[in-house]
A and B are shown apart, each in its own frame.
Chain A
């Protein structure tokens, strides 16, 4: 039910179009001003001595370090390791969540039967599994995968369950009386209704997966950007540490952007997206 609240595209089309153009500077310019103000504040804080430059190097120094990083193979290898864990974990979680969600959601009995267990297991924070991951896998990618899959699985599963529950009863009964098989019902009736929910789940899971990939690398020491951050910190390369942190932020922004585009593409036929084009 809260997920319905999160579905935002419809409201956007209402308030955006006529008012933005009315007066003032265009939006991208204002956004750029915001970024510049932020960078200026950051630059000034250590210079004016509000924070020690040892602890928070000025923005210029960090950005230089980031640019230097971009030219290094080691940096890209770390990014690759983080993204591998992210992609693998997300893929496994989506497949598991989708299949189990469909099977459980399609049967009223299974839905009631599993409800208490799901509601109990879901809020368990995946970081609680860190010690177990260390014990079982040590500093390998499997540790990251265990955490990522556990956290993302619930995001996807819950959305799929909501989606299957949202299927129109009349459509389902029509399909039944026309003699659709189980597989046909899943493919032609349930799947289209569920797809927007699934995409919301994947979008949420994608950012959760990045958080846990980085967490696992920070705490367990499996290879990747998070581990590089720990190394930079313990090595006293503070500007380098901030540069890596910025890099994880940009990864996050990139992931959010890509998932939003994919969502729009996949759901281009759906009223909530179509409505935005033809107000």
Chain B
């Protein structure tokens, strides 16, 4: 009964919306909005075949490579800068500027500097995604509890083992918040870099459909992007729960007191 109830909560509103969409489109033919059945049909015809391998997969691989590289670089650089007060002060204004710079403007720049190829698209993703991770890492390292730092020092824990056992664990919650921002920026940049200059990929295909007024196909592309977004967010939540299990446990204990 309980699972039935939560299933009801889970599905009722989506079903209502679906029904509303179906009723609203089933009357007169609407050029802009296809019926659900038509969309599902187009979705399968368009994406469940060759396109999955030629367009979706390369885009997703570029996204994953770019995001992972940005996370690794961001955390590495963030640790190096964050642990040193002078470096922190020197880099702060420049980094703040780059964080405030809207990442899509980097697409034309990197098109010039790198040329139009896969490397450019990955470079776009890295150069946009690195800032939230980098700045959150710096901030996290900076605001570590001083007592922890002094304890490490008194026990003679230094160098890599200090980073591994003291700095990284206490910084992870803030770093993860940065990673979450970086994921959504990465997805945006993946699409934009392909809409700008490309002959393949998801972004390119969707724009192509729109230009040729293939409206149901265009919607199905939007659905694909949405599904990728939802999948990314679930993967992230799963990773976060694993990485930060100790942290959420700690919070629960603290809140209970």
A binds B: yes
**Interfacial residues, chain A to chain B (CB-CB below 8 A):** 1-3, 5-6, 8, 11-12, 14-15, 19, 24, 27, 30-35, 37-38, 51, 55-56, 112-117, 119-120, 122-132, 134-136, 207, 210-211, 214-215, 218-219, 226, 229-230, 233, 238, 241-242, 245, 248-253, 255-256
Report which of B85, B146, B225 forms a contact with A128, defined as CB distance below 8 A: B225
Report which of A122, A130, A229 forms a contact with B108, defined as CB distance below 8 A: A229
Cα distance A222–B160 in the bound complex, in angstroms: 51
Known: A31-B90, A116-B10. A136 touches B32 (CB 8 A): yes
Cα distance A35–B91 in the bound complex, in angstroms: 8
Question: Are B9 and A248 in contact, with the CB atoms below 8 A?
Answer: no
Cα distance A133–B157 in the bound complex, in angstroms: 56
Question: Are A5 and B174 in contact, with the CB atoms below 8 A?
Answer: yes
Cα distance A12–B144 in the bound complex, in angstroms: 10
Q: A31 CB to closest chain B CB, in angstroms?
A: 4
Does B207 interact with chain A (Cβ within 8 Å)?
Answer: yes
Report B-chain residues with C-beta under 8 Å of the C-beta of A8.
Answer: 139, 143
Question: Are B101 and A252 in contact, with the CB atoms below 8 A?
Answer: yes
Question: Are B105 and A214 in contact, with the CB atoms below 8 A?
Answer: yes
Question: Are B229 and A253 in contact, with the CB atoms below 8 A?
Answer: no
Binds A, one of B36-44, B92-100, B119-127: B92-100
Question: Are A30 and B100 in contact, with the CB atoms below 8 A?
Answer: no
Complex A-B, nearest 7 residue pairs according to Cβ-Cβ distance, in ascending order: A252-B100, A131-B210, A11-B143, A30-B89, A34-B90, A128-B225, A123-B229
Interface SS of chain B:
helix
Q: B33 CB to closest chain A CB, in angstroms?
A: 10
Which among B92, B98, B105 has the greatest number of chain A C-beta atoms within 10 A?
Answer: B105
Binds A, one of B20-28, B69-77, B183-191: B183-191
**Interfacial residues, chain B to chain A (CB-CB below 8 A):** 9-14, 17, 32, 85-86, 89-94, 96-109, 112-113, 139, 142-146, 173-174, 176-177, 180, 184, 187-188, 191-192, 195-196, 203, 206-207, 209-210, 213, 215, 218-219, 221-222, 225-226, 229-230, 232-233, 240, 248, 251
Report A-chain residues with C-beta under 8 Å of the C-beta of B233.
Answer: 119, 122-123
Known: A120-B14, A131-B222. A56 touches B112 (CB 8 A): yes
By beta carbon, the residue of chain B nearest A214 is B102
Report B-chain residues with C-beta under 8 Å of the C-beta of A113.
Answer: 9, 12-13
Question: Are B93 and A34 in contact, with the CB atoms below 8 A?
Answer: yes
Question: Are B90 and A33 in contact, with the CB atoms below 8 A?
Answer: yes
Known: A31-B93, A116-B14. A135 touches B188 (CB 8 A): no
Report which of A3, A135, A250 forms a contact with B210, defined as CB distance below 8 A: A135
Question: Are A34 and B94 in contact, with the CB atoms below 8 A?
Answer: yes
Question: Are B92 and A31 in contact, with the CB atoms below 8 A?
Answer: yes
Report A-chain residues with C-beta under 8 Å of the C-beta of B14.
Answer: 116-117, 120
Report which of A119, A123, A248 forms a contact with B101, defined as CB distance below 8 A: A248
Question: Are B94 and A211 in contact, with the CB atoms below 8 A?
Answer: no
Question: Are B108 and A241 in contact, with the CB atoms below 8 A?
Answer: yes
Which among A117, A134, A238 has the greatest number of chain B C-beta atoms within 10 A?
Answer: A117
Report which of A3, A56, A115 forms a contact with B9, defined as CB distance below 8 A: A115
Report which of B92, B176, B213, B222 forms a contact with A132, defined as CB distance below 8 A: B222
Question: Are B143 and A2 in contact, with the CB atoms below 8 A?
Answer: no
Report B-chain residues with C-beta under 8 Å of the C-beta of A114.
Answer: 13
Report B-chain residues with C-beta under 8 Å of the C-beta of A134.
Answer: 210
Cα distance A6–B174 in the bound complex, in angstroms: 7
By beta carbon, the residue of chain A nearest B203 is A127
Report B-chain residues with C-beta under 8 Å of the C-beta of A38.
Answer: 94
